[in-house]
């Protein structure tokens, strides 16, 4: 038996007036998901414990069968694993976003958070800016590490974990109310603006009509994680295919392999077909029992408040990943179980995550059931099937319940 999870990050949403009261999932043309829905189990699952913040970190740990209350030690340390940063037990790692702040206000705390991703700045441009911060903002006991696009790290020796606000939670808001950082971190952020505002990279970005990456923003603090090995936990050899350091870090921490696919990105321009083909190859040719295919695009479109492109990202997943993967696995005549779900909602009207339950679809090639007409939030709720603890959902996939 082969197992697949298609994790459509942030795909779930809320009814929208501009869609005549439908969600992007309801509106999207998802022929292949809907065909599966007719012969699959649909239900709802709570991936984020009610007393925890809604994030891809806690949610994806849940989906992979790790109780976030027991195993979550912060977002940034998971990303550090993926980036090859060796944290000491006493280190604290912070996510360092390169963000776009408004430039009209003289005082830093009066500025507006315009974009948590600086127009999804390229990794190459971002690396130059992070190096500028490392060179021009030397603070004893702190070090910057470049990551992918706008996602980077700041590591503090002998630090303390403190709750800090994610920048995607305060889009279009004045940042002053959310500057709860310790004095040294706040001072570093203020100085980062002075360093980055007129950096040649940002001057060139403005000329191209792109937002400047004019400030660092620190959040997601945590310490070195310790996860039980996935293969020992379930007796199944697993692999991860994702563009995002967070997911790659979860894979490394749990002993899963990361499969790198050229063209897989965190945006709408993702190579969906290549991602699905790599997953099938891993299952049929490379001896993996389980592949976790993580697609970031719906989440990014939700953060951007871009309903049209969120719908498009869902349709791309359906047409270029779900359809071809099911067809190839069926043609190979191997039994397989296939689960599709978001990790959390990222409603385009809110432009940030919520902790509401999300719909899931579970297909078994050897055991068809009477399902629903379509895979969306409304149809999944109608079934009355509800998994209250997200870490138990994977047992359904592996048929352990």
Res 224 pLDDT > 80: yes
Give φ, ψ of 287 to 5 degrees. Answer: 80, 15
Beta pairing partners, 358: 45
Tens digit of each residue's pLDDT (9 = 90 or more) over 159-169: 888 999 999 99
187 and 150 in a common domain: yes
97 strand-pairing partners: 151, 217
Pair 165, 303 in one domain: no
Boundary (domain end) residue, out of 161, 196, 222: 222
Q: Are residues 92 and 181 in the same domain?
A: yes
Which of 2, 15, 24 is CA-nearest to residue 318?
24
Whether 142 and 58 share a structural domain: no
Q: Report whether 234 contacts 176 (CB < 8 A).
A: no
375 vs 82, which has greater pLDDT? 375
141, HSE (Cβ side, Cα atoms, 13 Å): 11
Q: What is the extent of the structural domain holding 376?
A: 2-72+225-397
- The most distant pair of C-alpha atoms in the chain lies apart, rounded to whole Å, by 65
Could you tell me if residue 80 is inside a domain? no
What is the C-alpha separation between 372 and 14, in angstroms, rounded?
20
In a domain, 330, yes or no: yes
| Domain-located, residue 23 | yes
Query: HSE on the CB side for 19, CA within 13 Å?
Result: 20
Domain CATH number, residue 12: 3.40.720.10
Which of 222, 237, 266 is at the close of a domain?
Answer: 222
What sections of 56-167 are H helices per DSSP?
56-63, 68-71, 75-83, 123-136
171-186: pLDDT as tens digits: 999 999 999 999 999 9
Q: Are residues 96 and 190 in the same domain?
A: yes
Q: Which two tokens stand for residue 143?
A: 């070090």
Q: Look at phi and psi of residue 103 and say left if phi exceeds 0, alpha if psi is from -120 to 50, else beta.
A: alpha
Identify whether 79 is part of a domain.
Answer: no
Beta bridge partners of 369: none
Confirm whether 82 is domain-assigned.
no
Residue 93: what pLDDT?
95
What is the band of 151 on the pLDDT scale with cuts at 50, 70, 90? very high
Q: Is the dihedral of CA 351, 78, 340, 317 positive or negative?
A: positive
Q: Are residues 294 and 153 in the same domain?
A: no
- Is residue 401 scored above 80 in pLDDT? no
Of the three residues 222, 241, 260, the one that is the final residue of a domain is 222
Average pLDDT value for residue range 380-386: 98
Query: How crowded is residue 151: how many other Cβ atoms within 10 Å of its Cβ?
Result: 25
Do 191 and 217 belong to one domain? Answer: yes
254 and 216 housed in the same domain: no
CA–CA distance, 55 with 346 (Å, rounded to integer): 10
Residue 128 lies in a domain: yes
pLDDT > 70 fraction of the chain, expressed in percent and rounded:
100
Q: Examine residue 244 and state whether it is found in any structural domain, yes or no.
A: yes
Label the pairing between strands 215-222 and 151-156.
Answer: unpaired
Under DSSP, the state recorded for 270 is -
Asked if the structure places residue 158 within a domain, the reply is yes
pLDDT at 400: 87
**Contact indicator for 254, 106 with CB cutoff of 8 Å:** no
Tell me the pLDDT tens digit for each residue of 293-350.
999 999 999 999 999 999 999 999 999 999 999 999 999 999 999 999 999 999 999 9
Exposure class string for 237-276: b at 16+ Cβ within 10 A, else e: bbbbbbbbbbbbbbbbbbebeebebeebbbbbebbbebbb
Dist CA 397 CA 400 (whole Å): 8
Q: Kind and range of the H or E element at 94?
A: strand 92-101
pLDDT of res. 278: 98
- The tens digit of pLDDT for each residue in 16-73 reads 999 999 999 999 999 999 999 999 999 999 999 999 989 999 999 999 999 999 998 8
Q: Taking residues 263-277, what's their average pLDDT?
A: 96
Please check whether residues 102 and 188 belong to one and the same domain.
Answer: yes
If asked whether residues 180 and 268 sit together in one domain, one would say no
Whether residue 342 sits in one domain with residue 291: yes
Q: Is residue 36 located within the same domain as residue 149? A: no
Q: Band of the pLDDT at 225, cuts 50, 70, 90?
A: confident
Mean pLDDT of 136-164: 93
Q: How many domains does the chain have?
A: 2
């Amino acid at each position: 038996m082969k197992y697949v999870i298609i994790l459509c990050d942030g795909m779930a949403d809320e009814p929208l007036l501009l869609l005549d009261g439908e969600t992007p999932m309801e509106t999207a043309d998802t022929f292949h998901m809907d065909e599966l829905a007719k012969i699959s189990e649909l239900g709802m699952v709570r991936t984020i414990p009610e007393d925890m913040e809604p994030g891809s970190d806690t949610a994806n740990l849940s989906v992979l069968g790790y109780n976030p209350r027991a195993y979550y030690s912060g977002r940034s340390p998971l990303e550090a694993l993926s980036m090859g940063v060796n944290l000491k037990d006493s280190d604290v790692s912070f996510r360092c976003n390169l963000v776009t702040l408004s430039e009209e206000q003289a005082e830093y705390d009066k500025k507006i958070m315009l974009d948590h991703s600086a127009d999804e700045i390229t990794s190459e441009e971002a690396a130059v800016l992070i190096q500028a911060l490392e060179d021009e903002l030397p603070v004893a006991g702190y070090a910057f590490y470049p990551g992918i696009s706008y996602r980077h790290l700041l590591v503090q020796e002998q630090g303390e974990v403190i709750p800090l606000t994610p920048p995607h939670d305060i889009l279009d808001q004045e940042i002053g109310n959310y500057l709860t950082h310790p004095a040294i971190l706040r001072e570093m952020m203020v100085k980062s603006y002075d360093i980055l505002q007129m950096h040649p990279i940002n001057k060139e970005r403005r000329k191209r009509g792109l937002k400047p990456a004019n400030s660092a923003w620190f959040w997601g603090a945590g310490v070195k994680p310790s996860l039980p090995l996935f293969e020992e936990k379930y007796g199944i050899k697993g692999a991860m295919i994702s563009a995002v350091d967070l997911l790659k870090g979860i894979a490394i921490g749990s002993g899963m392999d990361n499969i790198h696919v050229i063209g897989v990105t965190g945006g709408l321009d993702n190579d969906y077909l290549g991602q699905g083909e790599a997953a099938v190859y891993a299952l049929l040719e490379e001896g993996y029992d389980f592949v976790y295919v993580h697609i970031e695009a719906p989440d990014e479109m939700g953060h951007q408040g871009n309903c049209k492109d969120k719908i498009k990202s869902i349709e791309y997943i359906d047409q270029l990943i779900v359809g071809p993967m099911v067809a190839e696995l069926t043609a190979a005549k191997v039994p397989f179980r296939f689960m599709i779900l978001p990790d959390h909602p990222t409603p385009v009207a809110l432009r940030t995550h919520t902790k509401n339950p999300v719909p899931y679809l579970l297909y078994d090639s050897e055991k068809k059931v009477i399902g629903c007409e379509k895979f969306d939030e409304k149809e999944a709720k109608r079934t009355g099937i509800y998994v209250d603890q997200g870490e138990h959902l994977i047992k359904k996939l592996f048929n352990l319940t």
